[in-house]
Structure 1
C-alpha cells in the first residue's frame, strides 16, 4: 500500500462521500443514525487522526458522518490526503464540522507538490511553476478546511545531475514555496518515502538537512514511521536527532502498513516517548485496516486504545 493508492482512493471518494443528507446540525456527542457505535470514549493521550474510509462500515460512506463517529470514539483530528481534489463546497463542509466539534485538520497533499514526472531535483522552471501553483492552491484549500499542514514530496532522482546540484535545486524550489505559504501560517511537511528507490527523499537525516537549508518555519519534516522503519529503523533515536525540524508524524505498522500491534514496531513505546517529549501535534493514521468490515474497524480502535495506554 503506497501513497498513490491512498490518493487514488481519496480522489475517487471526493465527489461522492459528502453527498446525501448529512447535516452540520447533528450533536457532537452522537453519531449519525446510520452509524454503529463501538463505545463512546474519552479523548486519547495523543492526537491520532483517522482518514476517510477507515470507519465506513461502522459510520457509513459519508465522510461527515465518519468524522462524527471518529469524535465519538475519542479522536480529535483527521487527515485527508486528497482534500485538494475535493470541491470547495466539500472542503468548507469538512472545515465547518471540524470547527464545530473542536477537531483539527491534519495533512493534505499539495497538488503535484513534486513527483516522478514533476521532480524538483531537475531545476526546471516548468516543474517549479507547477509546484508553486500547487502551493497557491494549498492556501485556498487551507482557508476552507482549516488545515495548516501540507505534504510535499520533492520527486525522483535526476540521475544525470550531481547529487549536490539536485539538493540545491530542491532547496531553491522549496524556498519559493515557503514564501507563498509562510504568510498564511501553512507548513509544508516534507516526506521521505520507501515506495521506490527512485525517490529523492529517502531518510530523516537527509530531510533534516533540507529543512535546515530552506530555513523557514513553513518547511518541516513529515516523519512517517512506517516508511522510516523500512528505510532506516532506529526510530526513536532518529526522531531525537531530527526533533527540532519535525512538524508531523504518520503511523503504520510494518510489515503490512496496518494499525499498531499488527507488525514489528513497538508503538506503545514510541507514543510514550513522544508524549514525554511534549509532542502536542497530530499523528496521522495513514495505514489500512488489517481486517475487513466492522470487526476490522473495531480492531483498529482497540489497537489505538491499547497502544495509547502508556501512562
Structure 2
C-alpha cells in the first residue's frame, strides 16, 4: 500500500520510477499523491515536475486536478535530491504511543475517532518523524487502511477522524464538501467579548514566510485567487472571565487556521496562540500554568459514513485547560 511504501526504493538518479495505484490511493488527487510519496522533495519542485509533464499517468500528461484510479500507473521522473537512505526503520518511542488507546472516542469497522492531545501533528513532516497517523499505523500494523479524514493544528486538541475504509473516507470527504458535518470548538480569548452570538465572515489568504512557514491573513482582495478563501464561523459567548472570555465556535467553513486568524483580526486572540496571539501575554500565562493554546475541538455531529445513522462525538476538555478555566472562574 502507498502508506507503507519504502521511499528509498522510489528514487533513482538514472531512470524514472513507476508506481501502481492501489485502494489506499484511489480517488486521491495526483499532487497530493506525489507530496505524500516525495516527502523529502520541496513542494515547489513537485509542482514543477507536474506542470512540465514529467509525471505521467498511464503514459499521459495530467494536471493537478486528476484523481487517481486503482490500476493507474504513475511515472515519477528521476529526482536528484538527497533522500532518506537508512536501511533500518526508525520506530517511535513508547511514550509517543501510550496515549492512543486511552484517547479513543469511537471506533467501528469504518471509522476511528480520537481525542488528539495538543502538541501532536496529525502527520509527520516539518522535522517531525511521526504524526498521529504514523503512530496509529505503527501500533496497528495489520490494518489494511488508515487515512486521515481531516486535519487539526498541532497546537489544537480534540476530535480527529481516521477512516478505516476507502468508502468511508470518500463519503466523509463528500459530507465535508457539502457542510454536512457539524464541528464545534471551545476557546478562551483575550478581551471582554459581549455579544451572545456573532456570525463572522472574512476572506482569508494563505501566504508563506521567507522560512517557508505557512501564515494566513485577512484580505479585502476578492479576486479569483486560489489562495483566497471565504471563511465563516458562528461564535457564542459562554462565560465572561474578567480580562478573558470563554467562547464556543461552530464552523461553517473549515479554512486553515480559521478560528485563530478570525479572532486575532477581531482583537480577541486565542490565549497561548504562538502564531497569531499576544506573545507577551502568552509568556506571562505560561507562568500561570497555561503552556499551550486554549483551543479544543469538543463536538462533532454527522451521519455515519456507511450506515447513515446519526453520530455525535464529544471530546472532554483536557485537564490542563480545565484547570486553567477553573483558576480564572474562581
TM over 0.5: no
Q: Over alpha carbons, which structure has the higher Rg?
A: 2
TM-score, with structure 1 as normaliser: 0.26
